[in-house]
Structure formats: C-alpha cells, structure tokens
Structure 1
Amino acid sequence: MKKQRPKVLFFDVNETLLDLAPMKKKMAHVLGGNGNLLSLWFTTLLQYTLVTSASGRYKDFVDIGAATLQMVAANHGMALTKKEARQSVSSSLLSLPAHPEVKGALTALKKAGYRLAAFTNGSNEGVKAQFEFAGLTDHFEERLSVEDAGKSKPFGEAYEWAARTMNVDPEDCMMIAAHGWDVAGAQWAGWRAAFIERPGQQLFPLAPRAEIVETDLMKVADILIEYR
C-alpha cells in the first residue's frame, strides 16, 4: 500500500543540498593543512549552536562558525583573529555548489506537486546568497531560517515554528536532511523524516528510524513521487 504524501517537504541546506567539499578543503588549509581538525570544528560548531540557543540567545551561523574556528585553532597552537576566522567561514560557506543530483530531484518533486521549503540554521542573508550562487532559488516556495524562529534546529521550537510558518500540522511535514541530529530533532517534534547518507553521516541509533534512508536526493525523490 502506498504511503500518504507529506504536505510540505523541508530541506536542510548545508551538506544535504550543497556540497561541502570546497569548504572542507579551504578550512583544512586555514587549520594548517590538518584535515583531521575539520570534524572537530564541525562538532564544536554544532555544540555551541546548541549552547547559544539553549541559553535563549541567537547568533548568526557564520559568527558561531568563526568563533569555534578560533577555539579549535587556538587549541592546536594556531592564532586566528576574529576577522580572519569570519572571512574564512563566510567566503567558503557562501560559495558552495549543489550536489550533482539535487536540481534534478527538486525539479521532479516540484513537478509531482510537492511544496518545497528550505529550512536552515544559517541566516536569511546567508541562505539567500548560497541559493543564488548554487542556482537553487527558483526551486523553493520558501527559504526558512532559524534566525526568524529564535531557536536553532534541533530544538523542538524551531520545527514547530517552521510548521506554523508553512501553515501545516507537524504530521504533515517531512524533514529531508543529511544529519542524524536534524532527522532526530524533526521526528521528536512529530515530523516525518528522510535521511540522505552523505559520506561520513550516520543516523542517531537512539532516535526513531527515518521513514526513508537513501544515498542521494534523487533516490529519495523517486520514493516520494510514488506516494499517493
């Protein structure tokens, strides 16, 4: 029996839609050529995004990225000024290409009648620039940023705000993401979820199993198009 379609598909942006390979290459250079520090920086970035949000504060994703880059660099004997760190993060984050299958998958989903919304921890200005660079602007009905929610993903309030903004109930939402923490947060907020197994990404074993698990967005789209 075919499954019922979600009313709105929400897409994470970085790594889910956009390829982080150029950013990783640049940030490895900033960190003295030590590519092993990249995963530590990403983990620290997420940690302090959560700390900021849990404390009732909001900081731009680039600001947190720059601050945590300074922290990781300092712990490994490298000094980066605030300006240097912010420039490094901003310039690399805002010039990322889409993964090869993304545009075709989004076009197919839109043609099939789905409502598509981007939903990012990045800023409004940042995701606008990212989509303009990657050529994704016209594929989405809305670009949603947690900047307007006041809470970052994976806080439940962020998903609740996104559902209200798109005027749908939580059970009619599906989060599509390449991050286990985003998929888990969405499911615990009452959403459905699809997980894209980008290299190095895993589902959180303590969260419910995602409804769809595939290796790229086109494969996810093929399944969703078959829903009734």
Structure 2
Amino acid sequence: MTITTCIFDAYGTLFDVASAARRKAEQPGQGALAEVWAGLAEDWRRKQLEYSWLRAITGEHVPFWDVTQDALDWAMEHHGLDDLELREDLLALYWQLAPYREVPKLLAQLKALGKTCAILSNGSPDMLEGAVDSAGIGLYLDAVLSVEEVGVFKPARAVYDMVGARFGTEPSEVLFVSSNGWDAAGAAGYGFTTAWVNRAGLPVDRLPARPGHILTDLTTIPELL
C-alpha cells in the first residue's frame, strides 16, 4: 500500500532532548553545570527511558512528566548537583525543547505532498503541547497522540494501535519515524514501515524486528515515500 500517514516520535526525534541542559549551561553563573551538562543530559534521557520501561513492565503507570522529574533527580544526584533552583529551571526548559533544525521544513514538505502527519509519544499531553507550541510546528500536525490515552508506555502494542484507531489506517500505510532504535524496532514488529533516525551512529538493537530504514537525520524522509 501507499504510505499515507507519517507518524513521529517526539523526544529525540523532533525535539533535541539535550537542549534544556545545554541552554541552561550557557547562561551566566552556571559553571558547575557547564562542566557536566552533556553527561547530565545523557543520563537524564537514559533514566527517563529506563523508568518508562520498568513502569510498563510492572503496570505502575504514571504520567511521563513524573518519569521526567524522577530521571532528572537521579541525574543531578549522580553529577553532584544539589540545587533546587537549577532543577526547576531545567524542568521549565524541558517544556521548550529546541526542534532539530530540519524539522519545520520537513513537516512542511510532507504536508505539501498531502501526507497526514502526527506525533505518537510517551509524553504527557501538556508536555507535548508545550513543546509543539514552542517549536511552532503545530500547523503541520494533524494530531498529537499521547500514551496517556492507553496508560502504558512504548513499545507496548496498545500504543501503536492508537494510529489506526485515530486515522483508520492499515499498518502498511504508515511510516513511523523514531530516534530510538528500540521504538523503531517495536513499530516494525507491529507492521509499520519504519525509519530509525540514528544521529549517534549506534549499532542496531538486537531485537526480534529491525528498523526498515536507518537515517542520520530527518531530511531524507520524503525519499522514502
């Protein structure tokens, strides 16, 4: 079937999750953060994902905002940052994550091609609304889907079910794009055509399914259609 619908993960795919720590570290008086911001951002994201998986396995779901705060607390303690004001500033910046530079142009191209475009994310609805508004990309999106509708994090199949339920598509009509190899693999196993945006040049995850396409950024997405 022809691809009619392009579904994007949000964090790390459309939005640069390291930008909150980077932007704060660039501010005056942030010497301690400036020394460790890259490691902090990496640990923050890693623990955020780990906590989402563990909660999915145990059935103890909470909004992604809770997971995000817990992950930051772990990362700050790990890097010796005991600063409540810094914590609040970093969390505030997470609602305004910078989009990757190619994102607005890409989404505009896809809409010009007549494709349906949407986000499917672990993020809480209010978090996603803040990021989309801050990035100015809402006019290109037909929907912003949050796992809060089904109460479990990716890669649970119930999350991928949301696409067909919303748009009436068959899996073969969907291109699913994620910067997370495990997410792209999960979506591939579900039946979507998938693209893994492997910005870091990582090995392919050893999982039952593999991403259909591996890209270094989002610019070549239209060629897959």
The normalised TM-score by structure 2 is: 0.85
2:10 equivalent in structure 1: 13
Q: Do 2:184 and 2:210's aligned partners in 1 also have CA atoms closer than 8 Å?
A: no
Q: Do 2:187 and 2:194's aligned partners in 1 also have CA atoms closer than 8 Å?
A: yes
User: Sequence identity, in percent?
Assistant: 26
1:25 equivalent in structure 2: 22
1:144 equivalent in structure 2: 145
**Separation in 1, partners of 2:15, 2:71:** 21
**Separation in 1, partners of 2:98, 2:80:** 32
Letter in 2 for 1:59: V
**Separation in 2, partners of 1:89, 1:62:** 13
2:190 equivalent in structure 1: 189
**Separation in 1, partners of 2:223, 2:15:** 20
1:24-73, Cα deviation, whole Å (9 max, x unpaired): 41577686732324323322111111122222233222221111222233
Unaligned runs of 5+ in 1: none
1:52-131 correspondence to structure 2 within 5 Å: 52-79=55-82, 85=87, 87-131=88-132
1:203-222 correspondence to structure 2 within 5 Å: 203-222=204-223
Pair 1:127–1:51, CA change in 2 (3 A): same
1:183-227, Cα deviation, whole Å (9 max, x unpaired): 011112222201122236553243534222222212112332xxx
Q: CA RMSD in A?
A: 2.5
Q: Do 1:180 and 1:203's aligned partners in 2 also have CA atoms closer than 8 Å?
A: yes
Q: Do 1:179 and 1:201's aligned partners in 2 also have CA atoms closer than 8 Å?
A: no
Letter in 2 for 1:172: E
**Separation in 2, partners of 1:206, 1:51:** 17
**Separation in 1, partners of 2:129, 2:191:** 28
Q: Do 1:97 and 1:134's aligned partners in 2 also have CA atoms closer than 8 Å?
A: yes
Pair 1:37–1:94, CA change in 2 (3 A): closer
**Separation in 2, partners of 1:137, 1:176:** 18
1:36 equivalent in structure 2: 39
2:54 equivalent in structure 1: 51
Q: Do 2:102 and 2:219's aligned partners in 1 also have CA atoms closer than 8 Å?
A: yes
1:166 equivalent in structure 2: 167
**Separation in 1, partners of 2:41, 2:219:** 28
**Separation in 2, partners of 1:21, 1:43:** 11
**Separation in 2, partners of 1:131, 1:122:** 12
**Separation in 2, partners of 1:62, 1:27:** 19
Instruction: Tell me by how many angstroms 1:181 deviates.
Output: 1.5
Letter in 2 for 1:101: E
**Separation in 1, partners of 2:201, 2:69:** 23
Unaligned runs of 5+ in 2: none
